[in-house]
Amino acid sequence: MNCWIFSESFAKMANNEKEPTEAGENQEIIPPLNKDETLEKLKLVAAETEEIKHSQKRKFDEMAEKLQSIEESVSKISKTDNDGKSFLSNNQSNKEQESRKIFSLKDVFENVYSLKEDEYVCSEDKEHFNVKWSIEVGHIDNHLGFYVHCKPIAPIGNKYTIEAKLEFKMLGNDDNTAIKTVKFCFDKDEVVCGYEHFLKWEEMEYDFLINEKKLTAEVKVEILKMSGFGKKKIRRFDESQKDVSDVVLVVNGTKFYISKMYLAAQSSFFKTLFLGNFSESNKSEIPLSGIDPEDFQRFLEVLYSENAVDDSTVEGILLVADLYDAPTVVGRCEMFLLHDSDKEFKKKLQISTKYRLQSLKKECLSKIDTLDDVQRLLPCDLSDLDPSAALIILQKCVSSH
């Protein structure tokens, strides 16, 4: 029977304590790959780049055909035909998909079969959206337990909540997979979510241990809502700004009073929204969905030249800036990450590839020249690496191998 479990071991994990093994030492996560294995991993990831290039060419050809068709159609209709159409209804669904706070936690654990009853092993912490996350597996009542830990980095007090949708997945031999999905709300009292009886221990040993010792565990996380992380506002966009604004943007019930022309000058999305021939263009109040009001507040502050970027806000600001195509804000975030951020190398590289920050990406890749650098600086799961970055790293490593 599956159930939620919040035991003493979890309290220890929250305080960065490890459960001891029978020998009194911490169970180890899979050690770094040796150089040959690392090189092969890089080759596999980089090989995806060629397929991506072909895929992009096919998409480009298809897009060219569609554009030509659209151009022919437009020449036959009135330019005012857009009047009355909704820009948001045509574009917001795609925007919402892009703005979702989704990420995956994936680790390969070694020698799980040697765990005794009530022993656990936990992965290293990985930072996403100002929260440290980790995966834990354990041997409980002749079953495999599977959990995710949530450790906020900078909440305001203890009254924080993180509502999330979690997909627990175990990857095994012969394409075997075991998947369970749940919605859960983390707070100061509930820092661990998972399944006490995710798999029978015997089933795990026969169907999911790769090479009889390696276990691949993955959790896909979608953050639905975060509260209790709001910092003091640097600039006000509330009703006090009514006299100097001409539109109200409503984000999850929070109203932002802003100037259309100022926002349109900084964002192609808002330029089209405000100045196009759409049903929203002349409205005084426009709803925006799929984004967090705190992230939007910081985004506007940076847009208005306030110093709102720090390690706790940069990822949320980038998400909004990339979504609404605001290059000035993206540039300020990149400069912060290049010169002032204390984020780990792995996180900077991940952000640089996700948001196409070429200067940051170049800076990160300049630190990797050898396989020793790869093993020291990059995550164990190289399949999470951006294929184009993997190709560059592979070329540098091969030349120095």
Confidence of residue 11 (pLDDT cuts 50, 70, 90): very low
- Going by pLDDT thresholds of 50, 70 and 90, the confidence category of residue 383 is low
pLDDT in tens, 138-147: 999 999 999 9
Determine the 3-state secondary structure of 10 from DSSP: helix
Q: What is the pLDDT of residue 157?
A: 66
Predicted confidence band of residue 349 (pLDDT cuts 50, 70, 90): confident
Question: For the segment 223-232, what is each residue's pLDDT rounded down to a tens digit?
Answer: 988 888 777 8
| Residue bearing the bigger pLDDT, 101 or 247 | 247
Nearest to 341 by CA among 150, 127, 158, 135: 127
**Residue 398: which pLDDT band, with cuts at 50, 70 and 90?**
low
Whether the pLDDT of residue 401 is over 70: the answer is no
Are 251 and 244 within 8 A, CB to CB?
no
- Amino acid in position 361: K
- Note the pLDDT of residue 229: 77
Vertex 105 angle, CA 252 and 5, to 5°: 85
pLDDT beyond 80 at 292: yes
pTM confidence score? 0.65
Percent of the residues in the chain that have a pLDDT greater than 90, as a whole number: 40
Return d(Cα 158, Cα 255) in angstroms, integer: 26
Q: For residues 324-335, give the mean pLDDT.
A: 95
Q: What is the pLDDT of residues 14-43, one digit of tens each?
A: 444 444 444 334 444 444 455 566 666 666
Distance between CA atoms of residues 393 and 361, nearest Å: 12
Is residue 296 scored above 70 in pLDDT?
yes
Find, among 269, 287, 276, 275, the residue nearest to 325 by Cα.
Answer: 269
CA 338, 344, 349: angle at the middle one, nearest 5? 60
Token pair 């026969």: residue:
206
Q: What tokens were used for 336?
A: 């912060």
Q: Are 339 and 311 contacting, i.e. CB atoms less than 8 angstroms apart?
A: no
- 249 pLDDT more than 90: yes
| Residue 208 or residue 72, greater confidence | 208
Residue 389's nearest CA partner among 115, 46, 138 is 46
Give pLDDT, residue 377. Answer: 58
pLDDT exceeds cutoff 60 at 206:
yes
**pLDDT single digits (tens) 158-174:** 788 999 999 999 988 87
- Give the domains, in start order, of the chain with CATH numbers: 102-227 (2.60.210.10), 230-342 (3.30.710.10), 353-400 (no CATH)
Burial of 189 (0-12, 13-18, 19+ CB in 10 A): exposed
Confidence of residue 282 (pLDDT cuts 50, 70, 90): confident
| pLDDT, average across residues 234-251 | 93
Q: Is 75 or 77 the better-scoring residue by pLDDT? A: 75
In this predicted structure, what is the pLDDT of residue 396? 65
Contact 12, 18 (CB under 8 A): yes
Cα angle for residues 42, 45, 48 (degrees, 5° grid): 140
pLDDT at 51: 54
Question: Using CA of residue 272, residue 276, residue 281, residue 282, what is the dihedral sign?
Answer: positive
Rounded to an integer, what distance in angstroms lies between the CA atom of residue 204 and that of residue 199? Answer: 6
Query: Residue 67 has what pLDDT?
Result: 45
Longest Cα–Cα distance of the chain, Å, equals 79
Q: CA-to-CA distance for 153 and 160, rounded, in angstroms?
A: 11
108-112, 320-324, 366-370: the lowest-pLDDT one: 366-370
Output the average pLDDT for the chain: 78
372, pLDDT greater than 50: yes
